[in-house]
Amino acid sequence: MATAENQARVACPDCGLVQRLPVVRRRHIAECRRCARLLAGPATGRVDAPLALALAALLLLIPATVAPLLSVASHGAARICWLSTGIAGLWREGFAPLAVIVGAFCLAFPYLYLAALIAVLAALRLGARAYLGTAFRWIMRLRPWMMLEIFLVGCFVAYSRLRLVVGVHVLAGGWSLMGATGALLLALTQLDERTIWEALPLRGAAPLRRTKWLARRQATWDVSRGAGGDGSLGRAIACTTCELLVNDACPGAPCPRCAAVLHHRKPYAFTVTAALVAAGFMLYVPANALPVLTLVSFGNEQSNTIITGVLELIHNRLWPLALIVFLASIVVPLLKLCGLTWMLLATLQRSRRMLVARTRFFRLIDTVGSWSNIDVFVASVLVGLLQFGAIAQARAGGGLVAFAAVVILTMIATRTFDTRLMWDAPKGE
Ligand SMILES: [Zn+2]
Ligand SMILES: [Zn+2]
């Protein structure tokens, strides 16, 4: 049995420091004492609130999918757009990879994420525990790729650009999409991952009793006795998914709680991240040089690159949207590529400088990284809606494929990089 002292010991996922986690009270948070990573959030202990909100989000997502989002009218012709219209438009124009990306990020993954989250939270409420660890691991992995809120902002940008040239109205599906996104974001603020993990039994351990599962912390498994008293892991391995400290585990063995493969550090983290960043830099040039969207108005074709798209928003005095698109499409991808290069070089040089700042910066680029997809979503909505032949038409451009590739490569790079390598390196000096 784990002792009370062992129960609260955790290894920070960002810097690897083993420390004792205090019992976090309502509205309090606990941060890593070395890198300030949030270890326990203000939503600790909640299950009913995220369950109810996720259910509301799923129920609102159904009308958002089946009802039309927007309608446009131009010179007597009208057109309505569903969530799937843009995806079909991209596919029709020969941009199958983009259609798959938009379909997965904005349609398939939100449904999958919400349905799986509701199933796991409901199963916890009902006392079932089998396979929940594996299911919740996949839910956490899916989160960065589920981009309903980013698609909604993309719809706002597309709506604002369309209003300049045609009459456009928000329909029932559009309002439902706003409701679904709001409920989803609220559900995420109420979801505390550690609460869920600590309610799950370890493989071979007896399941927790239903009535007490919220009050109890870690159950029956000798998980952290192997951790060194100096804040190092000692003989233990920290699971990077559920943050469990597993004593005397062999690298390559499955985590007893979430079944993720245990490693002291992510395998090949440095090499794979370096390769992804190099590929990202190479694609960044065509992503910005080639047109991402071509707009036809009364026979006149106007090809927009990412930067000219921003300039057009500024020209039309849509300052807040111009700022959002500029930050998301130009600043964030560059920050991610340069930031990861800085972190890789500093790791290579075993640098001690600015370790906390580097780790904080990594968390920032990891959090904001998926917002770069806004331009892809704006293009999908415009391509779906603006199809009035020679009067007004929108076509996707080759730059959009390169741009989407940059965003996805950098998102994978932040997943493959292991920030603990930065903290390990100076120790070898
Ligand atoms: Zn830390
Ligand atoms: Zn685990």
Give backbone dihedrals phi and psi of 164, rounded to 5 degrees, phi first. -75, -25
Nearest bound ligand to the CA of residue 420: 1
More confident residue, 63 or 166: 63
Q: What is the mean pLDDT of residues 204-219?
A: 40
Nearest bound ligand to the CA of residue 12: 1
Least-confidence region, from 42-51, 86-95, 365-374: 42-51
Position 204 scores a pLDDT of 52
| Distance from the alpha carbon of residue 57 to the mean position of ligand 2, in angstroms | 28
- Find out whether 48 and 118 touch, Cβ atoms under 8 Å: no
The pair of three-digit structure tokens given for residue 84, joined into one six-digit string = 């799937």
**Confidence bin at 385 (pLDDT 50/70/90):** confident
- Find out whether 84 and 90 touch, Cβ atoms under 8 Å: no
Least-confidence region, from 94-98, 109-113, 276-280, 318-322: 318-322
pTM of the model: 0.86
| Distance from the alpha carbon of residue 412 to the mean position of ligand 2, in angstroms | 20
**Confidence bin at 274 (pLDDT 50/70/90):** very high
| Distance from the alpha carbon of residue 348 to the mean position of ligand 2, in angstroms | 28
**C-alpha–C-alpha distance, residues 387 and 93, integer Å:** 12
Q: What is the mean pLDDT of residues 82-89?
A: 90
| Distance from the alpha carbon of residue 259 to the mean position of ligand 2, in angstroms | 6
| Distance from the alpha carbon of residue 140 to the mean position of ligand 1, in angstroms | 20
Position 209 scores a pLDDT of 41
More confident residue, 40 or 62: 62
Position 317 scores a pLDDT of 84
Nearest bound ligand to the CA of residue 244: 2
Pairing outcome for strands 77-81 and 300-304: unpaired
Position 166 scores a pLDDT of 82
**Confidence bin at 4 (pLDDT 50/70/90):** very low
Q: What is the mean pLDDT of residues 24-47?
A: 82
Q: What is the mean pLDDT of residues 157-167?
A: 85
Exposed, middle or buried, 85 (CB in 10 Å: 0-12/13-18/19+)?
A: buried
Position 205 scores a pLDDT of 44
Percent of the chain with pLDDT over 90: 43
Most confident segment among 45-49, 376-380, 387-391: 376-380
**Confidence bin at 233 (pLDDT 50/70/90):** low
| Distance from the alpha carbon of residue 243 to the mean position of ligand 2, in angstroms | 6
- Find out whether 195 and 46 touch, Cβ atoms under 8 Å: yes
Position 162 scores a pLDDT of 85
Q: What is the mean pLDDT of residues 393-411?
A: 91
**Confidence bin at 402 (pLDDT 50/70/90):** very high
